[in-house]
Amino acid sequence: MVMIESHNKGTLLSIRVKPRSKRQAIIFAEEDACSIHVKAAPTRGQANIEVIKFLAKTFGIPTNRIQIIVGEKSSTKILLIEGMTPQSVKVALKGE
């Protein structure tokens, strides 16, 4: 489930990660639920690295502005997207 809310440094984004997928993708199951599909396996943090790189490319920001703050070893994660508003994160995720 995706939660997008304001934070004093940017935006908090809650996602579900699906590792070992055939392709990278942002999948919306419902209006407020999404998962990030990545090719990497969840070993040695490889899936986390791929999620950060994929989202940085999607948002058009450097990777150092995205941090996993909750869920380092879980498929459900909360990320801090520094310097972006909740609205701009939502627009970028949906590709609008």
Report d(CA 27, CA 22) in Å as an integer: 13
pTM of the model: 0.90
pLDDT value at residue 32: 59
| CATH code assigned at 82 | 3.30.1200.10
The residue assigned the tokens 């690295």 is: 49
- Write out the two tokens for 4: 């997008």
- Bridge partner list, 36: 17, 26
Residues 44-77: tens digit of each pLDDT: 999 999 999 999 999 999 999 999 999 999 999 9
Number of domains in the chain: 1
- Give me the domain span that covers residue 45: 3-94
Task: Provide DSSP, 70-83.
Answer: E-TTSSEEEEEEET
